[in-house]
Amino acid sequence: MSGILTPDSGKCQVNGLTPWEHRRRHVQSIGVVFGQRSQLWWDVPVADSFLLLRDIYRLDNATYRQSLEELTSLLQLEELLQTPARQLSLGQRMRCEIAASLLHRPEILFLDEPTIGLDAVSKIAVREYIKRINKERGTTVILTTHDMQDIEALTERIIFIGKGRILQDGSLSDLKKYCSPWKTLTVEYSGGDLAFDSENAFLPGLALQSAVPGRAVFSVDTKTLSVSQAVSALSQKVEITDLTVTGASAEEMVAALYKEYQV
Amino acid sequence: MKAYAAYFRIRFTAGLQYRAAALAGVVTQFAWGFLSILLFAAFYRTDPASFPMGFSQLASYLWLRQAFLALFASWIFDGEIFSLIQSGSLAYELVRPLDVYAFWYVKNLALRLSRAVLRSFPILTVAALLPAPYGLSLPAGWDSFGLFLSSAVLSFLLVTAYCMLIYIATVYTLSPLGVRMVAVAVTDLLTGGIIPLPFFPDNVLAVLRFTPFAAMQDLPFRLYSGHVAAGEAAPALALQAFWLMALVVLGRAWLNRGLRKATIQGG
């Protein structure tokens, strides 16, 4: 879709153009960030790379300066602009890369694994920036990622691709159907003992996973028993001091999807 | 156009920073120059009649070659281009509204020119001060000098176009090593980099004269010293211009085909 590769077969239209046939016209209106490669010139300050991009995309000075100001404040680049790219940390570089790809105000932004290798703080920050860019500039963002938290934080529509075909096209909640119905309930309690035998005659749909005095972990089959029913039943037996409910992790959901389609 | 000029400027100024490398290069070129002169001097003393050109013409040839090595040597490549082809960062070149051939061409011009600026003056100065016939003599005349300059520009552009072919071959082969090794060995010999072309046997020269190799560095030096008389220069210059156009057209077509079929590896 970015026009870099030519496919063996099939059709694709972006903004009315076929990307690989009209590459130079097409790329004028898209921005691309590859998480694992850098588009900034290595040995010159970031600001110089930006100036070169201004010339490459033929922006007039006023547009360029306005765009640069917006992006500098949005991504907090004030201190980074005069640093050569090779001296930036990965998180700092990623912010500069995103800015570089947006200088020419593209309508579409392609992000290929933008949070890969980033520390937790930078990941959250980058996600925030992407959301704001989408909201404030109305940029369409097409994200490729294996990071489930990226997906949960950013996406409205998910297209699941495998072996050259579209396998699923829907929202995150559609995909969550593939979640297993089991929820894990971790209970810390006092005034009783929940460590009864794992054959579980207590309540169908509630199975004890592990127990030490004062703390028990249960799985709840939400098809038979709702979480609130389980909690109220347990609270009638003991006094609950702390309670955690977790669903199947997003990774498990994706693994289930992969398995279903044998991808 | 502005983008290419801006890129040229950036790469040129970056190239000028490498002063230590330039100094090392200058020393190397002096060594080569002196050794070549001594070698040829030994042959000359044995049999001056067998030389196809006068000794001072030869000395000028060798010194000019050393001084402008950065412009005319066929083995000076930009490592960044090879690595971006191999690593797949080629993807970023394709994502810009730029002509990739022109972009790389301009980059190479800047690289070579910045090196030449740093290295040529010391060598030219010292060579000019050496006692005749071992040093750089004055050009054979104003017209010879003018022709030398025109031919040098054409040679410079032609050598760069030739090197583009090596980069383009790498788009197909991924590893540049094999292509480079063969190309560099063959080209350096056939362009007069090891021994000047007039020393080649006549039957070889008869064929070689029409190839792009003969047009790549030999001609400007011989124009300078008058070995090729000013009046006879026109057909040779025309041939240079022809080969320049041919290599550029061929290169562009080859690159476009390669890019269409490119696969970006490494996710």
Kindly report, residue by residue over B10-46, the tens digit of the pLDDT.
Answer: 888 888 888 888 899 899 999 999 999 999 999 999 9
Cβ–Cβ < 8 Å for A184, A210: no
Provide the token pair at B56: 């001072």
Per residue in B209-239, pLDDT tens? 899 999 998 999 999 988 888 788 899 999 9
Q: Which of A20, A28, A37 sits opposite B92 (nearest CB)?
A: A37
Name the pLDDT band for B204 (thresholds 50, 70, 90): very high
What share of chain B in percent tops pLDDT 90? 52
Contact across the interface for A3 and B260, Cβ inside 8 Å: no
Q: Which of B6, B89, B260 sits opposite A52 (nearest CB)?
A: B6
- Chain A interface mutation, best of B96, B257, B260, highest count of A Cβ atoms under 10 Å: B96
Q: Which of B88, B97, B260 sits opposite A56 (nearest CB)?
A: B97
Domains and CATH numbers, chain A: 23-155 (3.40.50.300), 181-247 (3.30.70)
Cβ–Cβ < 8 Å for B48, B55: yes
- How do the residues of chain A divide into helix, strand and coil, expressed in percent and rounded to 5? 40, 25, 40
Cα A144 off chain centre by = 9
Contact across the interface for B97 and A57, Cβ inside 8 Å: yes
Cβ–Cβ < 8 Å for B66, B130: no
Number of A–B residue contacts, CB under 8 Å? 62
Provide the token pair at B18: 């490498």
Q: Is the peptide bond before A7 cis (omega within 30 degrees of 0)?
A: no
Minimum distance, in Å, between the CA of residue A228 and any CA atom of chain B = 45
Cβ–Cβ < 8 Å for A130, A75: no
Cβ–Cβ < 8 Å for B255, B161: no
DSSP string for B218-236: HHHHHHHHTSS-GGGHHHH
Q: Which of B14, B95, B266 sits opposite A2 (nearest CB)?
A: B95
Mean pLDDT, all residues of chain A: 84
Provide the token pair at A163: 């072996």
Listed in sequence order, the DSSP H helices in chain A are 23-27, 46-56, 61-75, 90-102, 120-137, 148-154, 172-175, 227-237, 250-261
Cβ–Cβ < 8 Å for A17, A94: no
Question: Is pLDDT at A50 greater than 90 in this prediction?
Answer: yes
ipTM above 0.95, yes or no: no
Question: Is pLDDT at A200 greater than 60 in this prediction?
Answer: no
Contact across the interface for A6 and B96, Cβ inside 8 Å: no
- A→B interface, C-beta within 8 Å: 2-6, 20, 23-25, 27-28, 30, 32, 34, 36-39, 41, 43-44, 48, 51-52, 55-58, 113
- DSSP structural state of residue B48: G
Please name the residue of chain B whose CA is at the shortest distance from the CA of residue A43. Answer: B14
Contact across the interface for A56 and B96, Cβ inside 8 Å: yes
Q: What pLDDT does B177 receive? A: 87
With beta carbons under 8 A apart, name residues in chain A contacting B87: 37
Q: Which residue has the higher pLDDT, A137 or B262?
A: A137
With beta carbons under 8 A apart, name residues in chain B contacting A36: 266-267
Give mean pLDDT, residues A206-235.
84
Please name the residue of chain A whose CA is at the shortest distance from the CA of residue B88. Answer: A37
Q: What pLDDT does A249 receive? A: 67
Q: What pLDDT does A4 receive? A: 83
Q: What pLDDT does B137 receive? A: 87
Q: What pLDDT does A46 receive? A: 92
- B→A interface, C-beta within 8 Å: 2-3, 6-7, 10, 14, 87-89, 91-92, 94-99, 260-264, 266-267
Residue B223: half-sphere exposure toward Cβ, Cα within 13 Å: 26
Instruction: State the amino acid at position A111 in one-letter form.
Output: L
Give mean pLDDT, residues A111-129.
85
Q: What pLDDT does B62 receive? A: 92
- DSSP structural state of residue A263: -
Please name the residue of chain A whose CA is at the shortest distance from the CA of residue B90. Answer: A4
SS3 of A166, please?
strand
Measured at the CA of A105, the angle between CA A104 and CA A110, to 5 degrees, comes to 95
Q: Which of B7, B87, B262 sits opposite A5 (nearest CB)?
A: B262
Residue whose tokens read 């006068």: B54
- Across the beta sheet with A182-190, the strand order is A206-212, A215-221, A182-190, A239-246
Please name the residue of chain B whose CA is at the shortest distance from the CA of residue A34. Answer: B92
| Every domain of chain B and the residues it spans | 2-260
How many other C-beta atoms can be found within 10 angstroms of the C-beta atom of residue B83? 12
CA–CA gap between residue B184 and residue B203 (Å, rounded) = 23
Residue of A165, A98, A169 whose CA lies nearest to A134: A98
Question: Is pLDDT at B108 greater than 80 in this prediction?
Answer: yes
Judged by phi (left if over 0) then psi (alpha if -120 to 50, else beta), residue A162 lies in beta
Residue of B77, B86, B71, B102 whose CA lies nearest to B4: B102
Question: Is pLDDT at A203 greater than 80 in this prediction?
Answer: no
Distances (CA, A) of B170 to B30, B87, B110: 33, 12, 21
Residue of A252, A251, A7 whose CA lies nearest to A148: A251
Highest mean pLDDT among A179-188, B129-138, B198-207, B258-267: B198-207
Question: Is pLDDT at B267 greater than 60 in this prediction?
Answer: no
pTM higher than the cut 0.90: no
With beta carbons under 8 A apart, name residues in chain A contacting B7: 52, 55
Minimum distance, in Å, between the CA of residue B152 and any CA atom of chain A = 30
Provide the token pair at A8: 């063996």
Provide the token pair at A7: 């496919």
Q: What pLDDT does B115 receive? A: 92
With beta carbons under 8 A apart, name residues in chain A contacting B267: 36, 113
